[in-house]
A and B are shown apart, each in its own frame.
Chain A
């Protein structure tokens, strides 16, 4: 199946700092989603972004499908941003393939 690599695996930020998370994938995709998994285990949909750029408040994402990567930007980080961020991609008509995530810790 398709390979999904996320970097960095762990990230520690001071509150207020900005960060960029990266997702590389090994094949063409027709769906790409970013999720935030909170400390209670819930998966929160952040973006559906198979291509292009989207913004939602302090978060934005860009996917360059031709180069097979996506970036998630977090600006002015807050402690509530802590958790694990997953990138997941889909090829064809089947399931999402998940990366192993970036664990973000924001310290006050």
Chain B
């Protein structure tokens, strides 16, 4: 069964450094998402992406964040200058169709655990 994959599984970085988290969505999916979960808190939506542009983003997704689909398979989340509070588990997800109606399933990757020191 096709899966969403994410690399790396763990990343440790120094405050102020740039990090790029990588995701390979399911191959015939067209909609892509990033979520994050700070330890002990809820999973929170960051951004959705379709047709090579951001469809929607949350308040968390400020100018330090960017997303890109550099080729036909990868979907990346870049944090330009990491802060301590960016430490979290980051999940990538994809769906075949738009979730506008609310019923479309999003398929999640295993996550990347980011630790900012």
A and B assemble together = no
Listed in ascending order, the chain B residues whose CB lies under 8 Å from chain A are none
Binding site for B on A (CB under 8 A): none
